Amino acid sequence: MCAGSHLANRELYVAFSRLILAFEIRAGTEFDQRCTHPVEYNECQTALVAESRNFPVKLRVREGMNGFLEELCTENIEYK
């Protein structure tokens, strides 16, 4: 197992938490019910592994989160 996998899991948790906190996530205009079906979501039925269909989403900034997003976008990050 990769030594950095725990760090990667925590980074993904932070990234997804910020997305959920800052945006309302809704189905896009071209939403296909097969995207959420437990069997038919697979784009290629004969593939060895599941290949999910495109899942169009619409992101809307949550009320009061504009300042939070501006702070994230303008934050100076220095790598040493």
pLDDT tens digits along 5-56: 999 999 999 989 988 988 998 887 777 776 677 677 777 777 777 777 777 7
| Amino acid (1-letter code) at residue 60 | R
**Alpha carbon distance, N-terminus to C-terminus of the chain:** 27
Quote the CA–CA distance of 44 and 58 in Å, as a whole number: 25
pLDDT of 38? 66
Residues for the chain: how many in total? 80
Ranges of H-type helices in 23-65: none
Structural contact between residues 42 and 51, judged by C-beta atoms closer than 8 angstroms: yes
Quote the CA–CA distance of 26 and 71 in Å, as a whole number: 24
